[in-house]
């Protein structure tokens, strides 16, 4: 059974195939939720031992102000994660053995990138009965679809997310899609869809509503 998010989050898990996935897909949500006392366990599958790991650790610290943050960055090869199914599965199960999160933020299962999609498909095999929201990442594949969950963002947090992405990931600034306009543009569209100025959107495969008369 997939549970509801409690009124006050105590523990969350954030998952990414690559350094910067979490911040791009859910950075505004993390800025909205983060507070002293919140436990955030982050697992990133690739980039370990490189400048990308340094960027990721600094970035997630900035996106989770005040939270009790633990970051693990592994060294799986970028673009080849489906061939490392066992390693991904073991990493998820190890993380599950030490946390029972109220919420999981992860890639969505219909993401066009094979690394994102492969990770997303394995999440429920380790975290059964946990509410998982699949974040979206804009890319050249044109794989954006209609989301089912929205997190409205205050204007200042949407602006802060875009600024942090530029500041914390200098290795990505050369990419033609990696800019303020792209991040705020998608956030504005998702905001329109949920009657807010800005928002981040997510996909959910299954959730349980506990209703009382």
CB 88 within 8 A of CB 120: no
**What CATH topology corresponds to 11-204?**
Rossmann fold (3.40.50)
How far from 42 is each of 91, 135, 152, CA to CA, in Å?
A: 11, 14, 22
Residue range 130-180, pLDDT digits in tens: 999 999 999 999 999 999 999 999 999 999 999 999 999 999 999 999 999
Say how far apart CA 3 and CA 127 lie, in whole Å: 12
Q: Which two tokens stand for residue 143?
A: 């794989």
What pLDDT digit, counting tens, does each position of 45-62 carry? 999 999 999 999 999 999
% of the chain residues with pLDDT over 70: 96
Per domain, the residue ranges of the chain are 11-204
Q: Lowest mean pLDDT of 4-18, 114-128, 170-184, name the range.
A: 4-18
Reduced DSSP (H G I as helix, E B as strand, rest coil) percent helix, strand, coil of the chain, to 5: 40, 20, 40
Beta strands in 161-208 (DSSP E): 198-203
| Calpha distance 107→100 (Å, rounded) | 19
Rounded to 5 degrees, φ, ψ at 91 are -65, -40
Is residue 30 pLDDT above 70, yes or no?
Answer: yes
Average pLDDT rounded to a whole number, residues 8-13: 92
Is residue 1 predicted with pLDDT exceeding 50? no
Residue 93 has pLDDT above 50, yes or no: yes
- C-beta of residue 39 within 8 angstroms of C-beta of residue 68: yes
């Amino acid at each position: 059974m997939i549970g509801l998010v409690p009124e006050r989050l105590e523990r969350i898990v954030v998952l990414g195939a690559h350094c910067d996935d979490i911040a791009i897909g859910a950075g505004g949500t993390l800025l909205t939720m983060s507070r002293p006392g919140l436990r955030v366990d982050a697992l990133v599958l690739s980039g370990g031992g490189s400048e990308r790991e340094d960027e990721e650790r600094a970035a997630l610290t900035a996106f989770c102000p005040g939270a009790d943050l633990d970051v693990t960055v592994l060294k799986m090869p970028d673009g080849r994660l489906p061939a490392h199914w066992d390693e991904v599965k073991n990493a998820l199960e190890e993380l599950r053995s030490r946390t029972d999160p109220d919420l999981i933020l992860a890639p969505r299962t219909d993401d066009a990138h094979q690394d994102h999609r492969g990770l997303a498909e394995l999440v429920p095999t380790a975290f059964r009965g946990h509410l998982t929201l699949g974040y979206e990442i804009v890319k050249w594949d044109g794989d954006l679809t209609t989301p089912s969950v929205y997190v409205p963002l205050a204007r200042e947090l949407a602006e802060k997310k875009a600024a942090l992405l530029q500041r914390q990931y200098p290795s990505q600034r050369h990419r033609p899609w990696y800019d303020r306009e792209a991040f705020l543009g998608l956030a504005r569209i998702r905001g329109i869809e949920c009657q807010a100025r800005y928002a981040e959107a997510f996909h959910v495969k299954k959730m349980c509503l506990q209703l009382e008369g």
